[in-house]
């Protein structure tokens, strides 16, 4: 007990000592080295803290600092400077425009000067990530990195996000990038409950990261940059450094930062509904799916829909409506179904330490209520990091993180415009007839608890009933972190060992009570399963750095890596609910269990050597050999090399240094390679075991063993990837204009083709083989312009642009195509000579190149599905303007996508059902479709059809090619307005900084070529996270967010 009291007393004394450390006041002036003018708004911060100030209008500053502090001077577009105070009290700081000598984080956490890199690396500072309305780090990065494509599966809070860098390189394998957090691989996969049809429900596991605890993100896009990560880095690497995992030293004075944010969330893609016509067909009233009935001015009332049920028991359940009339009018009820959600975020961090020791502790709380009732996300993040240098040349550090994420949502699933394929909150809601009051009609049978709705056959599941009686949820407990130790042999040689772990348990549940009307789910179901995923990663790295001659420097590493990925999944799926309202497996009469285990091991050895000649010519040689246990022994080992070269021409050619136009010029070229190993069990035949195959009349359970229809291929090899990249980086007009351009060509050969068809007579139908090739060619551009700097005002513009072509070169001999995502008659496919993921579906039959018209005036559908669109955009871009003046900063980011197609069932269905402003015309008019008659190809069509036929039968139920739209769109993606209180106002308060920020996300967009009033957001992915693209299945409305934040430091 005495020892505990003594320890506590000592700890208190140490904290008091830190908080009361002697401080002093310094002052000075910051000027532009070229003009001599004072620079207003320069951030002056004590290194390792957020304690600081900003220069006033003439560049002067005054600041109270600890003894022996180091001051950091930073300003947009200027070189950051660190100045040791060494007892001085006055400083004259001259800042110059930014060059490419900044330091960035590369593979294995190695810091390098950007000018020395022979490949592209994008860096995003934490200030561009923190305090955002969106908590998904993937969505926050959208538009900030050239070459990175980010698509949401839905605007629902917690829904998954698809990230692809530099195109799709595998048909059957994952194309998602590797996440590395504080040097440790971080599992970011999306664990789906089923297939793509309900893929909008699940979260991507990088949702567990707290953006407010991120210090920086470095994105490695090309293979020459990711060789050290082996096959796991083949799709690019997102390196995240957290505040608790940062190696930057802390000041001796402890510092506390508190951020509180509140945001509102609303649906952003609500259609613009017409208000002149109600339910029916051919201008005749009826309680149908569709909205082609008479004008509201023609009828006042109709028989109440609940008095017209064909089922007598349903009429008996609602005696109050029998014989009653129902007002025929525009109810505008769909918008009232949604809500304005509220998101609250709290972040608290503490940093402190001294010259040799630093620590950081943070806690984050995030509570997000989405725009759809029942959609909620709650996340808690605890983080601790520390680092200390011992007297025996050993430095040790660690980061520990614990996250709990609780996510719940109504079910979302694909719908094809006439009921969803499985229970879905959005399946029938958007085309609710204008004359039906969704929010006013009862939705539940008071006797049975089942769903009731307006059609006489009660064959549409009421969305409000789905909201109350169906659900999907995830509860995640996650621990990740690392411990490292570095021994410094001398000034040239270091040895570092790091062990990292990332483990989470994901508890999933989903179900629906009996009484629904979606086919196959009427009697209810309940599904629970748990996933335990674990990554254990070991790194041993020997680093060497030395000047070989006066002109040549060598920087080399020799590394060894061991990684184990283990996954265990088990669950129970039950059907046929006994007692309504109880979700327990014993309350369902049939259960099916499932269990899956995967254990993958990688061993890797790598060597990297960087040579620098006179600090302007840089050569990087790298190679890695991997051994993987998912292949047979003879194919388990693979080596992939890489090489890059960079030359700083402005340093190499003295004449360029005198140029007033060219401030900096660097050329680079890089080559890299990688591989993609197949998943576990791909080379072996598998056996299925069922302990309840069927039950005899006497109750005896019969077991069964079944061999899978997939034939093993013991000769299977990994896919091989290679990439050539060239680039130029330049600064112009005294560094006022910056430009970085990258050109790349990437190829994948030996494609893992999982669907090579076999003759069923042999007992197997498919086999995995190596055959085929994919090619990606592209250009990336990142630019910045310092438009204006006058007095205290500054205007900066930055932007990125990406254009690429992703093509399937070949498949296996005799194989015409492979379906990547979707259905067998509608989706994405891989076909030689076509873009990767080309849209395919039904088309109108052509006669001599013209549409063929049937005798009823509508089109004849070709029985063979064909290519109907290209989901790949011609280019994507973003442009950010930042204006600052005396502590006020306004920033807004526009995003623009040119080209690309999307097959939108939402737009097609809204048109087919006559719902939106685009169908608000005189519906008595007739239409003649262009084309030739099927009965006489020499005659142009002259058959008139009604508006109902034109929209419902041709656009709605007709060929898929009419459901494909140009996805070109403009978006106001982010807006923020912040104000930092002047230091003079708070110098006598306990605050080191006070900052207010107003911000918004996805506030406006315009998809120019979509039908009027449909308002579909092209940034949606109906097939879920994976390799599909450009398909939207009435399941993915988007969200807009807006609110404010308050940030305080103590």
- What residues have CB less than 8 Å from 318, skipping those under 6 apart? 306, 307, 442, 446, 452
Distance of alpha carbon 911 from alpha carbon 471, whole angstroms: 30
pLDDT at 691: 65
pLDDT tens digits for range 28-56: 999 877 666 778 778 888 887 767 888 88
Q: How confident is the model at residue 269 (pLDDT cuts 50, 70, 90)?
A: very high
- Residue 2: pLDDT band with limits 50, 70, 90: very low
3-state class (DSSP) for residue 766: strand
| Contact criterion met (CB below 8 Å) for 821 and 841 | no
CA distance 576 to 579: 10
Residue closest to 549 by CA, chosen among 606, 616, 613: 613
The answer as to whether 969 is a domain residue is no
Distance CA 158, CA 264 (A): 15
State residue 200's pLDDT score. Answer: 64
Q: For residue 88, tell me if it sits in a domain.
A: yes
> Over 50: is that where the pLDDT of 19 sits?
no
User: Tell me, what's the pLDDT at 787?
Assistant: 95
At residue 560 the predicted structure's pLDDT band, cuts being 50, 70 and 90, is very high
429 inside domain? no
pLDDT of 22 over the 60 cut:
no
pLDDT > 50? residue 717: yes
Tell the residue number behind the tokens 């059907």, with chain if given: 575
Give the CATH number of the domain where residue 54 resides.
2.60.40.1120
Among positive and negative, which fits the CA dihedral 578, 582, 587, 590?
A: positive
> What is the domain range of residue 54?
21-95
> Binning pLDDT at 50, 70 and 90, where does residue 804 land?
very high
Structure tokens at 308: 């017209």
Residue 686 tokens, joined: 């598998």
- Within-domain flag for 77: yes
In a domain, 86, yes or no: yes
Best mean pLDDT range from 425-429, 828-832, 988-992: 828-832
- Note whether residue 639 is domain-resident: no
Report the candidate in 68, 105, 346 with the shortest Cα–Cα distance to residue 215.
105
What mean pLDDT is predicted for residues 575-597?
A: 93
Pairing verdict, β 90-95 and 23-32: parallel
Give pLDDT tens digits for 176-227: 999 999 999 999 998 876 555 655 678 899 999 999 999 999 999 999 999 9
Return the pLDDT at 694: 62
User: Token pair of 526, please?
Assistant: 């309940």
In this predicted model, what pLDDT tens digit does every residue of 49-94 receive, in sequence order?
767 888 887 788 888 888 778 898 887 667 778 888 888 888 999 8
Beta carbons of 870 and 897 less than 8 angstroms apart: no
Asked whether the predicted pLDDT for residue 10 surpasses 60, the reply is no
Residue-wise pLDDT for 650-689, tens only, equals 999 988 888 889 999 999 999 999 999 988 888 888 777 7
Residue 197 to residues 165, 408, 449, 506, 551: CA-CA distances in angstroms?
25, 18, 27, 21, 61
Higher per-residue confidence, 1024 vs 121: 121
Position 125 pLDDT exceeds 60: yes
pTM: 0.88
4 vs 429 pLDDT, higher one: 429
> For the CA atoms of the chain, what is the radius of gyration?
31
Residue 967 has pLDDT above 70, yes or no: yes
Torsion of the alpha carbons at 828, 829, 833 and 836, rounded to the nearest 10 = 50
Predicted pLDDT at 8: 36
Give the bridge partners for 321, in sequence order. Answer: none
The percent of residues above 90 in pLDDT, for the chain, comes to: 69
Beta partners for residue 927, in sequence order: 945
3-state secondary structure 599-623: EEEEEEEEEEEEEEECCCEEEEEEE
Q: Of the candidates 156, 431, 199, which has an alpha carbon nearest to the alpha carbon of residue 1021?
A: 199
951 within some domain: no
- What CA–CA distance (Å, rounded) separates 333 from 435? 9
Task: Indicate if the pLDDT at residue 1013 is higher than 80.
Answer: yes
The rounded distance, in Å, linking the Cα atoms of 762 and 237 is: 43
Cα 389 to Cα 978: distance, rounded to the nearest angstrom: 38
Q: How many domains does the chain have?
A: 1
CB 411 within 8 A of CB 198: yes
pLDDT score of 5 more than 50: no
The answer to whether residue 73 sits within a structural domain is yes
Mean pLDDT of the chain, nearest integer: 90
Burial classification of residue 468, based on how many CB atoms lie within 10 Å of its CB (0-12 exposed, 13-18 middle, 19 or more buried)? middle
Q: Which H or E run includes 13?
A: helix 2-19
Taken in order 1000, 1006, 1011, 1016, the sign of the CA dihedral is negative
Collapsed DSSP state (helix, strand, coil) of residue 657: helix
Query: Which of the two residues, 350 and 110, has the higher pLDDT score?
Result: 350
């Amino acid at each position: 007990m005495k020892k505990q009291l003594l320890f506590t007393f000592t700890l208190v004394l140490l904290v008091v000592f830190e908080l009361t450390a002697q401080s002093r006041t310094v002052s000075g002036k910051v000027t532009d080295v070229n003009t001599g003018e004072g620079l207003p708004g320069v951030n002056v911060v004590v290194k390792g803290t957020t304690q600081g100030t900003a220069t006033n209008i003439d560049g002067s500053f005054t600041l109270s600092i600890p003894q022996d502090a180091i001051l950091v001077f930073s300003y947009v577009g200027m070189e950051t400077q660190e100045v040791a105070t060494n007892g001085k009290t006055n400083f004259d700081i001259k800042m110059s425009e930014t060059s490419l000598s900044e330091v960035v984080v590369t593979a294995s956490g190695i810091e390098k000067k950007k000018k020395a890199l022979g490949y592209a690396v994008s860096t995003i500072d934490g200030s561009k990530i923190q305090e955002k309305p969106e908590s998904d780090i993937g969505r926050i990065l959208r538009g900030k990195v050239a070459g990175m494509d980010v698509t949401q599966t839905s605007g629902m809070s917690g829904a998954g996000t698809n990230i692809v860098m530099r195109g799709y390189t595998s048909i059957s394998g994952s194309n998602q990038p590797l996440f590395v957090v504080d040097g440790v691989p971080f599992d970011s996969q999306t664990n789906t409950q089923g297939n793509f049809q309900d893929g909008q429900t699940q979260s991507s596991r990088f949702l567990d990261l707290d953006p407010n605890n991120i210090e920086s993100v470095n994105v490695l896009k090309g293979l020459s940059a990711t060789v050290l990560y082996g096959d796991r880095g083949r799709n690019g690497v997102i390196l995240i450094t957290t505040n608790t995992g940062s190696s930057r030293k802390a000041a001796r004075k402890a510092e506390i930062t508190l951020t509180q944010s509140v945001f509102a969330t609303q649906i952003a893609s609500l259609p613009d509904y017409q208000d002149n016509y109600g339910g029916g067909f051919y201008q005749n009233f009826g309680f149908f799916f569709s909205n082609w009935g008479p004008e509201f001015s023609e009828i006042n009332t109709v028989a109440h829909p609940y008095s017209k049920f064909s089922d007598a028991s349903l009429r008996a359940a609602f005696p109050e409506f029998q014989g009653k009339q129902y007002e025929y009018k525009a109810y505008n009820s769909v918008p009232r179904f949604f809500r304005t959600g509220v998101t609250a975020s709290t972040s608290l961090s503490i940093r402190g330490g001294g010259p040799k020791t630093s620590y950081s502790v943070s806690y984050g709380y995030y509570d997000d209520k989405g725009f759809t009732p029942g959609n909620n996300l709650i996340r808690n993040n605890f983080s601790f990091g520390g680092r200390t240098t011992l007297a025996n040349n050993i430095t040790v550090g660690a980061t520990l993180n614990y996250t709990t994420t609780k996510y719940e949502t109504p079910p979302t699933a694909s719908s094809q415009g006439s009921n969803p394929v499985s229970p879905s909150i959005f399946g029938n809601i958007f085309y609710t007839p204008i004359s039906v009051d969704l929010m006013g009609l009862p939705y539940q049978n008071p006797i049975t608890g089942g769903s009731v709705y307006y059609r006489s056959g009660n064959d549409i599941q009421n969305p409000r009933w789905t909201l109350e009686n169906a659900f999907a949820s995830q509860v995640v407990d996650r621990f990740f972190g690392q411990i490292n130790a570095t021994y410094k042999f001398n000034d040239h040689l270091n040895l570092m060992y790091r062990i990292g772990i990332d483990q989470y348990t994901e508890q999933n549940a989903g179900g629906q009570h009996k009484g629904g009307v979606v086919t196959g789910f009427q009697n209810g179901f309940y599904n629970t399963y748990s996933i335990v995923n674990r990554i254990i990663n070991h790194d041993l790295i020997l680093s060497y750095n030395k000047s070989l001659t006066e002109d040549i420097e060598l920087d080399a590493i020799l590394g060894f890596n061991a990684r184990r990925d283990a996954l265990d999944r088990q669950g129970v799926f039950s059907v046929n609910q006994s007692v309504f309202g109880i979700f327990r497996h014993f309350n369902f009469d049939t259960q099916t269990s499932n269990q899956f285990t995967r254990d993958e091991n990688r061993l890797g050895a790598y060597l990297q050597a960087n040579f620098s000649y006179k600090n302007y010519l840089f050569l990087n040689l790298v190679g890695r050999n991997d051994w993987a246990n998912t292949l047979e022994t003879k194919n388990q080992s693979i080596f992939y090399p890489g090489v890059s070269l960079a030359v700083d021409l402005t340093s190499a050619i003295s004449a360029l240094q005198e140029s007033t136009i060219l401030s900096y010029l660097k050329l680079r070229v890089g080559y890299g390679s990688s591989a993609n190993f197949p998943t576990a069990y791909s080379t072996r035949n598998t056996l299925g075991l069922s302990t309840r195959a069927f039950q005899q009349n006497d109750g005896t359970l019969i077991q069964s063993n079944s061999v899978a229809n997939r034939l093993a291929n013991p000769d299977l090899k990994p896919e091989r990837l290679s990439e050539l990249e060239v680039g130029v980086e330049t600064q112009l007009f005294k560094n006022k204009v910056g430009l970085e351009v990258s050109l790349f060509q990437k190829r994948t050969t030996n494609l893992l083709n999982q669907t090579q068809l076999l003759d069923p007579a042999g007992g197997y139908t498919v086999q995995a083989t190596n055959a085929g090739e994919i090619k990606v060619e592209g250009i990336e551009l990142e630019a910045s312009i310092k438009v204006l700097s006058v007095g205290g005002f500054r205007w900066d513009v930055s932007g990125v642009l990406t254009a690429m072509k992703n093509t399937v070169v070949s498949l296996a001999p005799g194989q015409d195509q492979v379906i990547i995502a979707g259905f067998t008659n509608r989706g994405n496919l891989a076909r030689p000579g076509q873009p990767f993921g080309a849209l395919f579906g039904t088309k109108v039959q052509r006669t001599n190149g013209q549409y063929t018209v049937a005798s009823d005036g509508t089109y004849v559908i070709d029985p063979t599905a064909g290519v109907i669109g290209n989901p790949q955009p011609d280019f994507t871009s973003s442009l950010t303007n930042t204006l600052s003046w005396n502590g006020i900063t306004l920033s807004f980011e526009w995003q623009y996508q040119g080209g690309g197609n999307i097959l939108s069932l939402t737009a097609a269905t809204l048109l087919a059902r006559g719902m939106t402003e685009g169908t608000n015309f005189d519906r008595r008019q007739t239409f003649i479709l262009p084309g030739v008659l099927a009965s006489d190809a020499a005659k142009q069509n002259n058959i008139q059809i009604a508006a109902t036929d034109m929209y419902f039968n041709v656009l709605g139920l007709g060929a898929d090619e009419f459901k494909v739209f140009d996805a070109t769109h403009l978006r106001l993606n982010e807006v923020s307005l912040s104000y930092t209180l002047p230091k003079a106002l708070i110098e006598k308060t306990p605050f080191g900084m006070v900052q207010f920020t107003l911000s918004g996300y996805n506030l406006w967009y315009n998809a120019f070529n979509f039908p009027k009033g449909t308002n579909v957001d092209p940034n949606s992915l109906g097939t879920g996270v994976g390799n599909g693209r450009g398909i939207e299945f009435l399941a993915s409305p988007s969200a807009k967010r807006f609110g404010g934040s308050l940030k305080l430091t103590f």
